[in-house]
Structure 1
Amino acid sequence: MSAIRAFRSISVSSRAAAVHRSGYSTVGSRLAPLVQAFSKRAFSVSARAFGQGTADVPLSSKLLEEMKYEKESMAEFSKDPDFLRDFKAQGKWQIENTPFNDEVTLSRKFGNENLRLTFSIVDIRGEQDESFDNESAAQESEEDGSQEEEVLNTYPIRASLTINKAGTPGALAIDMMCQEGQFVVDNIAYYKDGSLATDSTAEADWKRRGIYMGPQFDTLDIGLQEEFDKFLQERGIDEHLAFFIPEFAEFKEQTEYVQWLEGVKDFVDA
């Protein structure tokens, strides 16, 4: 062994022995903060891996803020607002309103007929966005000094009515648009197999594709259109129902939005 190597070996051994005797490690003391920081970092990473990211709390707070605002805006309504209580009090239509579902179904009996009218709140969301654009355009038009046009929130909503008769195999399926207190009929289809009017299976949908759906309603003889209108109004497809549907759709959309906020917040917080 060379003299230099022997000297280094003796120095290291002496230093190690001194550390062992004193019970104090200079190297360990220098590494302690790094080990602690690494431990904290490892804990933070593992926490985020279990769905507790840094963005969760701010998102949850914002969801809660929005939820409180929406609930305050609905505070004027009880469980059933006045227009809904009045509609139910008439006793003509039964409302099938499933939470977390876009569609609403109104059903009633008329003699030996079963009527089911279905509409969706999807239309009202799209119409609200378009209404916002129209209001912005109207404000810009006013600023430019041009004639201001009144913007009406009429919420046109598509509706589908099926009419079945007890003991009769056929059925009518009527596609309509509900807007400004009236129903505008698009077409009236007749099914020899009445189940096709209400069956939502893929097989039924395939069968409907090959069936003649009838002409556009507005191409029919005027007298025939008028008789169909009387036929529908006698069964409760009238002005009162045409005003109720957009109002209920707006109420349901607001209710569903609050439930959506609650569900998303619960999921984020879990």
Structure 2
Amino acid sequence: MKVCITKPGITSILHFDCRLQGYGNDAVINLVSYHQSTQSLHPSKYRGPPFRTLDYALQDAFKEFLEVRGINVELGNFLIRHLHNKEQQQYVKWLHSLAFIIKKGLESS
């Protein structure tokens, strides 16, 4: 998941690329980048060092920074469940549409 943190009245953004290490496990930060504004969110040529190569104290500080704001494993697991449910609902809707088209085609034959 991508997390963008801003402050009211300030245009700069702290951007985190995160992932879950398997269902129910720790959230992992892949990358942290700073952008001067929302218009500068496009990928830059230099994205900084990989997160895992940063000083461990800095890594821990970034993880705590996100957790204080509710970006944690529970949120990640909620998002995964939500996306699975949404995908299932879209699939069922598609099946109903397909059944309607087939039924309509059979009736017109």
TM-score normalized by structure 1? Answer: 0.35
Aligned residue number for residue 4 of structure 2: 162
Q: Which has the larger radius of gyration?
A: 1
Whichever structure has more helix as a proportion of its residues is 1
Residues of 1 paired with 2:46 and 2:98: CA distance? Answer: 44
1:191 aligns with 2:44: no
Q: Return closer, same or farther for 1:265/1:196 CA change in 2, 3 Å cut-off.
A: farther
Matched, 1:217 2:51: yes
Query: For 1:209 and 1:232, how far apart are their aligned partners in 2?
Result: 22
Cα shift readout 1:146-195 (whole Å, capped 9, x = no counterpart) = xxxxxxxxxxxxx1111122211211221111233231111011111223
Residues 193 and 211 from structure 1, CA distance in 2 versus in 1: closer, same or farther, beyond 3 angstroms?
Answer: farther
Which residue of 1, 23, 46 maps to 1:180?
A: 23
SS of 1:173's partner is strand
Which ranges of structure 1 fall in alignment gaps of 5 or more residues? 1-158, 198-207
What is the distance in 1 between the residues matched to 2:81 and 2:29?
20
Q: 2:73 aligns with which of 239, 242, 254?
A: 239
Structure 2 CA distance for partners of 1:210 and 1:229, relative to 1, 3 Å = closer
1:258 Cα deviation from its structure 2 partner: 0.4
Q: How large is the RMSD of aligned CA atoms in angstroms?
A: 1.9
Once the two structures are TM-superposed, the CA of residue 211 in structure 1 deviates from its matched residue by: 4.7
Structure 2 residue runs without a partner (length 5+): none
The sequence identity of aligned pairs, in percent, is: 31
Alignment match, 1:255: 89
